[in-house]
Structure 1
Amino acid sequence: MTALTLSPLTEDKQALAVRLIDGLDTAALHWLSGYVAGVASQRLAGAKASHAEHPAAATEAQARLTVLYGSQTGNAKRIAEDLGRRATSAGLAVRVVRADAYPTRELKQERLLYLVVSTQGDAEPPDDSRALVEFLNGARAPKLEGLRYAVLGLGDSSYPQFCAIGRQLDERLATLGAQRLLPTGEADVDLETVTQPWLEQALQQAREQLKTSTPLAKVTTLRTARSTPTWHREQPFAAPLLLNQRITGRDSDRDVRHIELSLEGSGLRYTPGDALGVWPTQAPELVEAVLDTLHLDGAATVRAGTDELPLRTWLSERRELTQLTRPFFAAHAERSGDTRLQDFLAPAARDQLADLFARWQVLDLLRRHPVEWTPDALVAALRPLAPRLYSIASSQSVVGEEVHLTVSHVDYAIDGDARWGAASRYLAGRAEGESVPVFIEANERFHLPADDRDIIMIGPGTGVAPFRAFVQERAEHAANGRNWLLFGNPHFQSDFLYQVEWQQALKNGQLHRLDLAFSRDQADKVYVQHRLREQGRRLYEWLDGGAHLYVCGDASRMAKDVHGALIDIVAEHGQRTAEDAEAWLNQLIQQGRYARDVY
């Protein structure tokens, strides 16, 4: 049971408070916290007593650190919570709030604010931060001369607009008059390299800024107790492989695998919508190709940080080879002195650089633009290898101590040379009985509704994975809400993933509607967004009636095309302008009724 320290509540009210929060997840607790704070603010504003009669309320914002986070995959959330724990341990008053749970009216009262926010795809904010970004960039944003702030941006340097949202928010806060305490942190997928020193500096600044503030009574935060899992990102569980089965036909040009792993004895728990993190190793053929191209000895010893390992081990287990990143590209261009490469780094060449990153891997750059690298310099320049996250394709209520994945084996050729994805190649090459290092990554914004509302699931290709889990979960618990799936892929005969399962779910009444889009089975290509438009009136009726909408899959094109179709549908059938239709969809996002898991 959660304790309430220095509580002004009577014993019966304390008991009611404990009963209220019992069983609530983090998102619900954040919402409740914001709601209660809002009620308190309204009552305070309506009180007849003067400001001078309530000095504690007047100085609360000055004596507190607020940490806001915007997270799509959970990294920003984890870092923000880490910062909150450090601040609490240092004796500071702190609150950690997800961006969509933050009352923007409080911004003008803040005195110390840290923002931790990721950038998605081509300079897009996380879904939980869209409203905050829009507010800050809009005319209603207040002047913030009394605010001191710092921004930590998370991103992926394989995208040209690396950490763009973090930079935008930093610049906007400065424009509104706020005082920057630290340079914008820009963390790549190897987060700790940047985040750890940034967090240390941020904590030191918080100590300095709050040391003269009026101290607040220390209150134990209302929250459900959560134990730290034994297995996590830094200490993954070795999960034995139970099944590695291709589920596309022989005629398909896509190799999609259904992977089943055992979690027996791990104690790991997950909820439909969560992701499984996989730590891969690079394919030996790729490592040898890099060594041969650079004429380097794989046995050469390289020291980086506190670790001293053979170069071959660094390239196999510690460094990124299948994704080309801007920092490595820039380092290679500088070493080569090749103006053609340096031209790609100009702002005007952003689209060309994005196209090159989509096609080339590290090996392609090394072969096409030869440069001499030493082992130490190469290891220092390459990005550390990061885990890959896969949407979980099973309900633990159904499969028990197992976890299932739907993995597209990325395997293609450039000028006759084989290329592949690091984790998909790693998983596709595992045999039954071999172990895979894994951990669970919670995705709270992509969970099923707490009640039995209708759900609409849009998942072309391997984006269908979490919806297999959704349907399993709802069938297991006999949920009353209707389930509508829209799935697409190139061909019906060879690419209809989990066809038998969906047909059986339809027959059993566990799936209430299934719309299919096989793009290359007719002269004109048909995608899921076309099926959405065809069913526009029905779709709007479901959404207007309270249904939750989920989209999973490709962020670069599919998610954008689907969102555009949704705007048109809401405008037409809701009799709104395009601007009002988009605002209505944004409200669904803020309410958690329109969730996206895109990559």
Structure 2
Amino acid sequence: GGGGAPKPEKKDDATEPDVKEEEDSDLVPMTVIFGSQTGTAEEFSETLAKEAKKNGFKATVKDIEEYDHEEELPNESFVVFLMSTFGEGQPTDSATNFDMWMKEQEDTSLLSNVTFCVFALGNKQYEKFCAMGKRTDKYLGRMGGQRLMKCGIGDDDASIEDDFMEWKEAFFAAAGARFATSKSEGDEKFTAEWTVDILDGKEAETYNSGFKPAPEFKDNIEMAKVITNKERRQKCIDGGSTREVIFDISDLSISYITADNLGIYPMNDPNTVQTILKKLHTDPDTVFRFQNHDKHLGLPAICSAKDVLLWHLDINNPPKKSLLNVLAGFAGDEKEANTLKSWASPAGKEEYKKNIEAPHMTILGILEAFPSLDVSFGNFVELVPKIQPRFYTISSSSNAQPSAISITMSVLKGGVCTNYLKDLKPGSDYAPIFVRPSTFRLPSKISTPIIMVGPGTGLAPFMGFVQEYEHKSKANGGKPAEGERVLFFGCRKRDVDFIYREELTAAKESGVLTGLQLAFSREEEKKVYVQHLISQQAQALWKMLSGGGYVYVCGATAMGRDVKEAFVEIARSEGGKSAEEAKAMLDTLQDSGRYVQELWST
């Protein structure tokens, strides 16, 4: 990511005496490190650090990407890792270097003076559930670290916050026993850590409204003009819609490789923003300066009230229990405070589900339902989670279309980003975009056989692949490359949601695709899905795999699981392997980058 100026050295005279140091001197130091992709691990780390003091610890929170593990880790006395798993058992972008370093360590006494503990975050829908956290726990132990307690597990498919809260209780009990700390009955009241000032005069006058990234954001993010925004389904029944949105990058410094991921920051609904600002008695045009003293802000240091809410706060998801608990302290009415506390408590699980989760109540709903809440704008901004970018697999080829990026997305009911994107007007509207690499890379040899499986919007990267091969075919006087290229696509009905029908049919006719297998799940008595077609093509697919072929799978986790099982069965039936050997073969293909999946949980 994007460089930037070196940080100025702190001057000696800037280190003023810290009044808090005396009372902190008997606290046990603890380093909390997070590897986060969507902000959850970071949020949990902050919660852990806030509760550390009353448990007898002085916590320092660090992003794994900014932590010098080689130098610092062997010298820690007590360290806690909160590690998310990305995709199929991979580390988050921020933890890739740390992951590689751990695997290479052979010194079994490197961490012999370090007590450690790991909380792993993941989603049960994925085959390699919580793999990064489990791996961290295993390797830290292998390097001689003293394990405080067994690795904690958080499942985002159920309630990851409940998992974390249960683990946190057990963690502080174990840590308190290990380090003989004393618990103080600390006041539960919220103490602001941010400094928030209102700017006036010249600083406020020169403020330019619009999206700006947070100072810690490392990717190169730019405003890109929308040049196409069109429906791709034949019929939009039951509110279903799949759109293709194309961004012009000809004047930007952004570039991409076919099937990379496009990150987009969505904008919140302006009417909701206006209503919240009224509730907080804040003028939308007031310009603020935010400081979080060496920690991540999640928003620009200087920002107007309107821009903070439009671009930077997650005001669309139901508030977490930890937030309700803190908000209870801002309620003037005791009854309201008690209701919020009870919803946030372990005993109030069902109440929380019924009142918050099921009706999808947002922060605005809370402000309306509890009128005695009196929160300052600064506290509100510090407390509410920050918006995370959304990622879409790019559906264009960088060779065929270097100056524009296409994405293909299903518009989701209540989906913040897809609903923001669907309303952008071509030719006049812009969106904040950036590019991240994906695991989808075409084989270096053009004739290598490829098998593509992408039902629904899982087709996106393969439209990029099709464009890429068409581009190569044109450069070759219209003659398609050697080798086989088979695509498995599935949708409900051919005259409803068969996206890119014309392009795929043409690619099959020209030989760019040597095979096009279509599953329409709602056209037959018995539902047919892509995995059924794969099983039917067992012999041909085994031949492609045996000839060094690559498999790419894109779509929902459940489909990914079924497709992998179908390939395991092919290795068994066609390759004559035992069930164990067949599974091991698929795992080997996956590890060597010949069986690649990009899956999302639903």
TM-score bin (small chain): 0.5 to 0.7
Correspondence 1:261 to 2:263:
no
Shift in Å at residue 159 of structure 1?
Answer: 6.4
How far, CA to CA, are the matches of 1:597 and 1:370 in structure 2?
Answer: 42
* Paired residue type of 2:246: E
Instruction: Give the direction of change, closer, same or farther, for the CA distance of 1:119–1:62 in structure 2 (3 Å limit).
Output: closer
Partner SS for 1:596: strand
How far, CA to CA, are the matches of 1:428 and 1:395 in structure 2?
Answer: 22
Instruction: Give the direction of change, closer, same or farther, for the CA distance of 1:492–1:368 in structure 2 (3 Å limit).
Output: farther
How far, CA to CA, are the matches of 1:437 and 1:73 in structure 2?
Answer: 27
Partner SS for 1:540: helix
Correspondence 1:446 to 2:444:
no
Instruction: Give the direction of change, closer, same or farther, for the CA distance of 1:369–1:572 in structure 2 (3 Å limit).
Output: farther
Instruction: Give the direction of change, closer, same or farther, for the CA distance of 1:530–1:149 in structure 2 (3 Å limit).
Output: same
Correspondence 1:397 to 2:399:
yes
- Contact kept, 8 Å, 1:321 with 1:361, in 2: the verdict is no
Match of residue 144 from structure 1 = 142
How far, CA to CA, are the matches of 1:369 and 1:279 in structure 2?
Answer: 29
Partner SS for 1:526: coil
Note the 1:197-216 alignment, pairs <5 A: none
Superposition CA RMSD, Å? 5.0
Correspondence 1:429 to 2:444:
no
Match of residue 381 from structure 1 = 383
Instruction: Give the direction of change, closer, same or farther, for the CA distance of 1:393–1:512 in structure 2 (3 Å limit).
Output: same
Q: TM (normalized to structure 2)?
A: 0.61
Instruction: Give the direction of change, closer, same or farther, for the CA distance of 1:354–1:124 in structure 2 (3 Å limit).
Output: farther
Instruction: Give the direction of change, closer, same or farther, for the CA distance of 1:378–1:528 in structure 2 (3 Å limit).
Output: farther
2:499 to 497, 500, 520: 497
Shift in Å at residue 234 of structure 1?
Answer: 5.1
Instruction: Give the direction of change, closer, same or farther, for the CA distance of 1:297–1:70 in structure 2 (3 Å limit).
Output: closer
* Paired residue type of 2:582: A
Instruction: Give the direction of change, closer, same or farther, for the CA distance of 1:512–1:358 in structure 2 (3 Å limit).
Output: farther
Partner SS for 2:395: coil
Unaligned runs of 5+ in 1: 1-60, 82-95, 181-231, 412-419
Note the 1:569-580 alignment, pairs <5 A: 569-580=570-581
Instruction: Give the direction of change, closer, same or farther, for the CA distance of 1:368–1:63 in structure 2 (3 Å limit).
Output: closer
Shift in Å at residue 587 of structure 1?
Answer: 1.2
2:223 to 235, 238, 260: 238
- Contact kept, 8 Å, 2:552 with 2:596, in 1: the verdict is yes
- Contact kept, 8 Å, 1:278 with 1:437, in 2: the verdict is yes
| Aligned residue pair count | 451
**1:248-279 per-position Cα deviation (integer Å, ceiling 9, x unaligned):** 12343321111111111223221122111112
- Contact kept, 8 Å, 2:111 with 2:140, in 1: the verdict is no
Instruction: Give the direction of change, closer, same or farther, for the CA distance of 1:564–1:73 in structure 2 (3 Å limit).
Output: closer
Match of residue 459 from structure 1 = 454
1:483 to 458, 482, 485: 485
Identity, % of aligned positions: 24
* Paired residue type of 1:393: S
2:259 to 263, 270, 273: 273
- Contact kept, 8 Å, 2:323 with 2:384, in 1: the verdict is no
Q: TM (normalized to structure 1)?
A: 0.61
**1:210-231 per-position Cα deviation (integer Å, ceiling 9, x unaligned):** xxxxxxxxxxxxxxxxxxxxxx
How far, CA to CA, are the matches of 2:88 and 2:136 in structure 1?
Answer: 23
* Paired residue type of 1:524: K
Shift in Å at residue 429 of structure 1?
Answer: 1.1
- Contact kept, 8 Å, 1:460 with 1:528, in 2: the verdict is yes
Note the 1:94-493 alignment, pairs <5 A: 96=97, 99=100, 106=106, 108=108, 111=111, 119-122=121-124, 124=126, 144=142, 146-147=144-145, 160-161=159-160, 235-252=220-237, 253-288=239-274, 299=284, 304-305=290-291, 307=301, 311-324=305-318, 326=320, 331=325, 337-338=338-339, 342=343, 360=360, 362=362, 366=366, 370=370, 372=373, 374=375, 375-411=377-413, 420-433=414-427, 434-443=429-438, 445-452=439-446, 453-478=448-473, 479-493=481-495
Instruction: Give the direction of change, closer, same or farther, for the CA distance of 1:516–1:73 in structure 2 (3 Å limit).
Output: same
